[in-house]
Structures are given as C-alpha cells and as structure tokens.
A and B are shown apart, each in its own frame.
Chain A
Amino acid sequence: MHELAITVIGPDRTGIVADVSEALAAVGANLTDSTMTRLRGHFAMTLICTGPAEAEAVQALRRVGGVLATVRPVEPETGTAAAGEPYQLSVHGADRLGIVAAVARVVAAVGANITDLTTRLSGPLYVLVAEVDVPAGAGDELAERLAVAAAELDVDVTLRRAESEIL
C-alpha cells in the first residue's frame, strides 16, 4: 500500500480540520499518523495517509479554499527505529537567533533523536519543548553538553527522564 505525506496550512478558522479531513475522506484517504496545530494564527497539518493516488489527493485538497497544500508519495516505514531511553527536554529564555539549531545539534551529536518538538514565542520569551530518544547510557553526557550550550545561549535547559510505567 502506498502512502502519501501531506501538509496543509492556512489561516486558522473554525471548520478547517473538518473541511480538510472530509475532502480527504471523500477520496478514500485513511489518515494514519498526523499532527495538527495552530501556529501564530496559521493552522498547520502534517499527516500520513493511505488510499488515494497522489493526483486524487491533490484534487481533493484543491477544492478546500484558502489553504496551501503539498502531497507527495512516501515509502512506508521499514522496521522500527532503534529503541533509546525517552527524555523530555525543556528550554526557555530570551528569544535569539539559532536556539533550535544549537540545541538540536547538541542532541544529534550524542546520537539522540528528536521525536517531537514544539516551540512558542511569547513576547520576549522563547520556549522549546522536545521529546528525545537518547541512546542507552548517554543521558548524562547529553545533559552536560546541553548545560554548556545553554550557558552560551543564555537560556535555561532541563533534561529529564520521561520513563513510562506499564500498568
């Protein structure tokens, strides 16, 4: 089964999710994983779906007014990503250029993988929250390197274990 990677972005309004998902359902698109969120008044949707051909999805989204959409075929996930230890990373401080780049580079340098990341700019305050898969035993090294980066960026960084308990 082929998969499509779709992005849709448009000015946020009531019904935008309903309109886009209805248009996709009408051509038999089955949404699998997706994130949809409001970013500074724009509503952004990123999703993977199965079902329609690329052209059908493009047609369907064209009928939704006022949004920018991209559709491209992607290969289904092969195998599963290496299991790491889950951590949650929080960064906050005065907004400045390159906070995400610097933090993400430090994360990558220890072989850790960001699986989810959100940033918010609120007045002068910049906030970054991320879920990070850290290779077994590399948590302390990552924390140390982040502390160094945080000092350079003059931001506060917290890295904590996001361990889950199976009940």
Chain B
Amino acid sequence: MRKVVTAPASVLSRPAAEVDPADPEIVRLAEDLVAVMRASPGCVGLAAPQVGVSARVFCVDVTGHPKAATTHGTFVLCNATILEAGRWRPGREGCMSVPDLTGDVKRAARIVVEGLRPGTGEKITITTDAFEARAVQHEIDHCAGKLFLDRVAGAHAVYQRKIYL
C-alpha cells in the first residue's frame, strides 16, 4: 500500500505532470489510489501527489455521503480540467495531507469536468454538483500543486481539527 504524504512535502506544492493514461504504470497508480482511498476511513478522494507521485491522476468516490447529490461512484481521471464552474458556495474542508487543520474554502457547487480514463484513455466528461463537485475540485487542485490552504477565505478561516475519523 502506498503511503499518504503530508505537508510540508514539495510534491504537494508543485504542479504535477500530464500523464499517458495508457502507460501501465499509470494504470497501476490509478488502482493504488483507489486502494488507498478505500483503506482510509472517511476518505472520498485522493490525488497522485498525495502518495508522492507528481502526476495528474486522481480518484473520487462520494457514494453515500450525506452532502452528496449527484454521484458517479468510484472514478479515476487523468489530466482532468474543469470546463465549467458555477454556483460558488463556502464550505469547510480538510485533507489527509494536512491532517491537523481545516479551512473554509469556496468551491463551485456545479461543474463540468473533462479527463481521460486510465487504461483506455477514453475521454470522459462528468457533470456534477454539491459534494462530488467539491471533492473533484479539491483533487484537481492537488494535481496543480495547490492545497486547500491556498484557497482559504481569510486569516480567520483556518482551524485546528479536533475530530478524528
């Protein structure tokens, strides 16, 4: 099982490279990300930089989450980009790579995202909302070398996290 790296780690702060979704190493990375996500209680998404690999790959699964509306089950996207974003909403989020802090971050509650499926390289477009949209934006940020800390809504919007899952 790959280990989750935590900030400050340089891999979390640099924009990750685009990948070839057909590369067997990327396919294995995608499988490993899903495995780590499933093995981590409460984890609804994981990006490659979080396991120390600077690659534009992430997985998300918000199935059953109370704040989710539209859900697409477990999916992995390579080289994902956001095509449309709207309905910005504040929300408090934390990150496995920043274990002791949370922060208030505005995210679009409705997005259209495009990426490539690992293995086939098939281009897919996902339209989603609510919590799944927040998770996707958080993971795409990881791929761009950004943490939620880069987006907090002001000097009083970072909190010590006291609840452990």
Query: A residues near B, CB below 8 A?
Result: 37, 80-81, 83-86, 115-116, 118, 131, 133, 162-167
Contacts and interface: CB of A to CB of B under 8 A. Distances in A.
A86 B159 contact: yes
A83 B95 contact: no
B96 interface: yes
B27 interface: no
B86 interface: no
Contacts of A166: 42-44, 93-96, 165
B74 to A, nearest CB: 15
B139 interface: yes
A165 B92 contact: yes
Contact of B134 (A37, A83, A116, A165): A165
B145 to A, nearest CB: 16
Which secondary structure characterizes the binding site on chain A? strand
Contacts of A163: 92
List 3 A-B pairs, minimum CB-CB distance, nearest first: A164-B102, A164-B92, A167-B138
B163 A165 contact: no
B67 interface: yes
B152 to A, nearest CB: 12
A111 to B, nearest CB: 15
A164 B155 CA distance: 17
Contacts of B102: 164
